[in-house]
Amino acid sequence: MSGASGTATALYGPGLDGNMMPALYEELRRAHGPVAPVSIAPGIDAWLVLGHRELLRLTREEQEFSHDPRRWSLLREGRVPADSPILPMVGWRPALLFTDGQQHRRMRTAVSDALAGINGHELRRSVRATAEELIAGFAAHGEADLVAAYARTLPMRVIAGLLGLDDRTGRELVNAVAGLVSATGGAGDASRRMGAILQGLIEEKRRARGDDIVSALLHHPARLTDEEVLHNLVVMFVAGNQTTVNWIATALRILLCDPALRSSLSGGHLSVDDALDLVLWRFPPTQNFPARYATRDMSFGGQDIRAGDMLILGLAAANADPEVLPADGSAVVGNRSHLAFGAGPHICPAQDPARLITRTAVDTIRHRLPDLELAVPEDELEWIKSPWSKGLGTLPVRFTSPQLPQGTPPPRTAEAPAPTWAHRNAVQPQARPH
């Protein structure tokens, strides 16, 4: 990489957690401008795109910035070790995330149609019922870790149900995904475990079609192969599960730690969606997202980029770009021009279901535990260590007066099958322009 050798800032390591990353982005912006040299693993240099305008160009211009990692010069030159922790995240797969042009459109059509088939009303009811089960499971204790007992568990159940998985297999898949995105030495094994689970699911749905996303992909007119279905499921699950976990946990943290925001929400001055968008501006669930690859030599963001260079989408840094924020640095209520879901042809196709899940999860716990409060000082909260994800490791809370509806069922056992949702002739949540 031109200009990066010897100056690249490490975006990995045991001391780097999600809470300290924003300060690092501002240091990089001051030192390098909107595009900065970084390393994402030992010996693996890349460019981090920090500028809002530059990130929009990166995501919209496929002719200059390809999604295909086979264009990556370090990979072509054999300079990426086979056991590199980054490889499971950026290695080529036959999935929409790694394709351009017609191939991308074919796969995205299938994925978008499968997601559009979700019955929004039934999904909302199911999320609320699951949320109330989880709350009932810890309500008598007067305290809980809302990451482990709520934010991490609820999306897993929901997405497992959308895929047609039972709870136990869904948990195994979540654990494999967590190992994949941690960018540690165990990422390769996690990737293999994830593939085995999904391959078994595909074989099952080939034998017996159901009302689930896997079946919808397998029988779509785009005629995806089993391999393409598997790898698109990997992309959907990796991108969807942890993002929703982080969004729920961060929204709850902000409500617990920001009295003004909580008061505005309780008083009706802000809607839950307004609060969720403020979270997406200030604390996007995915901080950085790999990757694009330059198709030619160019000057970009003040840097000399060479064909085959990797560029990382700095979603959190771009949201904090002073060029697009008001003078006081605050996000404007109702403004959805943030980049938390990306932009361009590859903008996240699952943002509406993710919003519905998150909104319902936050709204349900607010009403069931109205006196919820943080059980430790805010500066003692633990954050997961990942260059990609801004997520809480724990969110300990206490409360005294749970308000549970009569007849709330006890928590389901791990063996109980998760529900599936009807896909055909469904009423959809309203799509929101980004």
3-state secondary structure of 361: helix
- Note the pLDDT of residue 432: 35
- Note the pLDDT of residue 64: 97
- Note the pLDDT of residue 297: 98
Helix H segments across 139-225?
153-163, 167-181, 187-207, 213-218
- Separation of alpha carbons 191 and 376, rounded Å: 35
- Note the pLDDT of residue 178: 67
- Note the pLDDT of residue 392: 92
Q: How far is CA 289 from CA 107, 238, 269, 342, in A?
A: 20, 11, 33, 9
- Note the pLDDT of residue 244: 93
- Note the pLDDT of residue 181: 58
- Note the pLDDT of residue 410: 54
Stretches in the chain below the pLDDT threshold 50: 2-5, 413-434
Question: Taking every pair of C-alpha atoms in the chain, what is the biggest distance, in angstroms?
Answer: 65
- Separation of alpha carbons 215 and 209, rounded Å: 6
User: Do residues 288 and 318 touch, judged by C-beta distance below 8 A?
Assistant: no
- Note the pLDDT of residue 363: 95
Residue type for 42, please? Answer: P
- Note the pLDDT of residue 184: 57
CA angle 163, 145, 140 (to 5 degrees): 100
Q: Which residues contact 188 (CB under 8 A, 6 or more apart)?
A: 83, 85, 87, 88
- Tell me the residue ranges of DSSP E strands in 30-126: 35-41, 44-49, 65-66
